Structure 1
């Protein structure tokens, strides 16, 4: 099919940041302004020139590789707005050579979910310009992706005043108190928590604390699509990894709070609540304790029985040890033999061995040492991850110039993740 070479079409947006303020129920949304720029060097007779803003949500909840069941997929159109700038049905005029601008201006509703890209699903928005040409000529399609974000931070209330306090008892052994922020922005926001741990008995010791930000992503289909079966996949991951704090029971004061501080990066997704995809976050802590209350006590009879079982092996070899005179000593007419000393009754044939005696002493000392029962106790505190109300306009470095994960100070400069491959779905054109 013939593809015109002298026609160009471009989408230009005017200062669009895509940030919606407040909850979906109360948000007023945002405004999308821009224009289409059409340049042609020859006279053209297009059928239609259409601008479409569209949002789509799709999930893929596949079964295990060994399963013969099909993969459950669902795609929904979240929002669609169409503007027709040229229609050959109402106007048969041709477009002469030149440069033409077609402006568009409309409101995006505040209930739309934020943009998201995950392993099993995505929510994406795009601006599309379509120039439909006559038969035997390829249509011109231009696509420009836009990101929709939601800011839940109230500018009137400082962030340091928004905190959550939790307390409780873990496994009847550890009493905890923790203060965490309610809401943190993912562009370098600080997660600062204070943790107090107090053992409820003297036989419990805290060895270490492992913490990290847990991201829970839930992909699922709806009843209208799956009919009789709803596919669902849940993924738990730690996008920033974990860190471990080791405690010394002799030097750490239980009354001193433990500080947990780390910053977020834009690769942490914001909280999301939609029909197909849900994202939540929690501050996850794993406390490793050693408890000696369940240690095993061994008596002397068991130790002595072990010693006797060891010495029994020597009885199978010999009960009498002979010593010869050293070289150069005068010969003797009688050969002396010495029976090994025995701590058992005279009628017993078991003998006393120095090596067995030392081994029994070592075994006794080892068994007398306290044996700790190690346990892992978990705490999870919900945290809301949102975006900033105003993102600084800084040019992001290219991926080729970033060899290692950037520091938190450059969190706002991290480039966005790569786009998905070209979609296979078509954009519906409704012309009235």
Structure 2
């Protein structure tokens, strides 16, 4: 009798967890989702079917005032993408699967007008995921697995003004000159943003209390589609602080007694580390439902000669993109540009699963791809030959 709990292991491997669409929703050609679903059996099982489903959902949540201090919560969900791969169709009889490794490759071209993956707490979310289902016989629990992947949109093209250094400079109340410089306007997840701050006091009576630097993410949401007819169309604003620091020692050199003709410049290089997770840092987005922007804000708190406290405030907008490539790709990314083949992809996965977590060498990838081309392409039974090389 077949055991109620199966030892079967299901995995979903995708070529990339973060798919990128280049250009706006009007001009983008979309992107391609590729991968392999694997099933490892240590004992025979009977199944009805094996399918892989792709879901994309948009959810809008809002609160509508009913008067007298009462609110009502609404939630609307909309499907933006659906697709099903049937690897083993249902038949009159159950399929008997013997112990072994089973692999099923999948591929789908995604349209370029899809909304980007987004998460705005309590208002707007867009999420994409894959769901594998191995449907077993009656009264036997199915085997299920979900895998979330991310869709981002990339500027096209990256114009030169985005890649040039960004700076603001001005004179404040005839008391100081300031300059704030960034090496570029474009950044991505995991980047380090070096900010150079130069302050030149024009009077010796000025003292600094502190210098603060903050990176903020701004989101403006509005209801779209059928929700717009129900929801108050006033946009909802949401923001969060991604990084904040305060320097209480900045400008202390000006506190020392000095001659009036001495030149003083307060200089600081502040580095902002950007989060690596797409949940902790979202790309800049603009569509009919949401707009996301990022700014770095500076506040220089000053004490005047009469003891009055003043604040110099400045802000620099930056653009967060899915990728930030202005030159040749790094070695770690070079292998991704090779022609895609499910067999070669599986071979690299098996190399990693067999205790080799590092990236393969360039020569091994070329050899594997050459072997794939020579066999045009090999069957799954021939994959161990790829691995042995």
Structure 1, unpaired ranges of 5+: 293-370, 394-432
Map of 1:244-255 to 2, 5 A cutoff?
244-245=247-248, 246-248=250-252, 249-250=254-255, 253-255=263-265
1:50 CA displacement: 2.7
Aligned partners of 1:78, 1:93: CA distance in 2, in Å? 35
SS in 2 for 1:234: strand
Q: Deviations over 1:56-94 (max 9, x none)?
A: 233434479x94211243333333222233444xx5454
- CA contact 1:61–1:219 (8 Å) conserved in 2: no
Q: Which has the higher strand share?
A: 2
Relative to structure 2, which stretch is displaced further, 27-36 or 193-202?
A: 193-202
Change in Cα spacing, 1:239 to 1:38, as seen in structure 2 (3 Å) is same
SS in 2 for 1:241: strand
Count of residue pairs brought into register by the alignment: 307
1:250 CA displacement: 4.2
Change in Cα spacing, 1:26 to 1:196, as seen in structure 2 (3 Å) is farther
1:271 CA displacement: 1.9
Change in Cα spacing, 1:30 to 1:173, as seen in structure 2 (3 Å) is farther
Relative to structure 2, which stretch is displaced further, 199-208 or 70-79?
A: 199-208
* TM-score (structure 1 length as normaliser): 0.57
Change in Cα spacing, 1:30 to 1:103, as seen in structure 2 (3 Å) is closer
Aligned partners of 2:60, 2:22: CA distance in 1, in Å? 26
* TM-score (structure 2 length as normaliser): 0.63
- CA contact 1:23–1:152 (8 Å) conserved in 2: yes
- CA contact 2:218–2:238 (8 Å) conserved in 1: yes
Q: Deviations over 1:91-147 (max 9, x none)?
A: 545412325543322233455455444533543321112345676665543212223
SS in 2 for 1:383: strand
Match of 1:383 among 309, 318, 325: 318
Aligned partners of 1:95, 1:281: CA distance in 2, in Å? 54
1:200 CA displacement: 6.9
Q: Deviations over 1:198-251 (max 9, x none)?
A: 567776655432112122234443252142423654233322222225313345
Number of the residue aligned with 2:283: 271
Number of the residue aligned with 2:110: 108
Structure 2, unpaired ranges of 5+: 257-261, 334-389
Map of 1:27-66 to 2, 5 A cutoff?
28-37=30-39, 39=41, 41-44=44-47, 46=48, 49-62=50-63
Aligned partners of 2:59, 2:53: CA distance in 1, in Å? 19
Aligned partners of 1:275, 1:130: CA distance in 2, in Å? 34
- CA contact 1:30–1:110 (8 Å) conserved in 2: no
Q: Does 1:163 align with 2:165?
A: yes
Aligned partners of 2:3, 2:238: CA distance in 1, in Å? 45
- CA contact 1:217–1:235 (8 Å) conserved in 2: yes
Aligned partners of 1:81, 1:122: CA distance in 2, in Å? 20
- CA contact 2:19–2:33 (8 Å) conserved in 1: no
- CA contact 2:200–2:265 (8 Å) conserved in 1: yes
Aligned partners of 1:134, 1:275: CA distance in 2, in Å? 46
- CA contact 2:218–2:292 (8 Å) conserved in 1: yes
Aligned partners of 1:214, 1:220: CA distance in 2, in Å? 20
Larger Rg: 1
Q: Deviations over 1:384-422 (max 9, x none)?
A: 2234568969xxxxxxxxxxxxxxxxxxxxxxxxxxxxx
Aligned partners of 1:258, 1:133: CA distance in 2, in Å? 64
